[in-house]
Amino acid sequence: MLIYKVLRAEEWADLASTGQIAGAPVDLADGFIHFSTADQVAETLAKHFAGAADLVICACHTDDLGADLKWEPSRGGALFPHLYRALRLKEVRWQEGLVMAGGQHVLPDRVE
């Protein structure tokens, strides 16, 4: 199953150059890296990244993240994937910059 991490361009650049990232400031504060499923990512964008430009969506397969990936209740009790370690560049299956249309982020067609 693919899950998704939204990064700001500078966070993606850090991941691409160093090979791993401990996460965005919210991830560091919470002690884990926040991911979303395909069904959750649009709401995540609207709630936490409204109007933000220069975002990158990264797709990771749950099998690649191993036992450090935990499914925990969050918004409305829904289970969200949380990674309790750094994300490694080699675990990113694909990444793509997000575009805005009508004031909203447009998800790539390959978000499944």
Q: Break the chain into its structural domains and give their ranges.
A: 2-106
pTM of the model: 0.96
User: What digits encode the pLDDT tens for the residues 77-106?
Assistant: 899 999 999 999 999 999 999 999 999 999
CATH 3.20.170.20 fits 2-106, yes or no: yes
Is the separation of the CB atoms in 80 and 32 below 8 Å?
no
Q: Put the strands of the sheet holding 69-73 in their side by side order.
A: 33-34, 79-83, 69-73
91-to-15, 42, 59, 98, 106 alpha-carbon distances in Å: 11, 22, 9, 20, 23
Positions in the chain short of pLDDT 70: none
Residue 82: name the closest of 1, 2, 3 by CA: 3
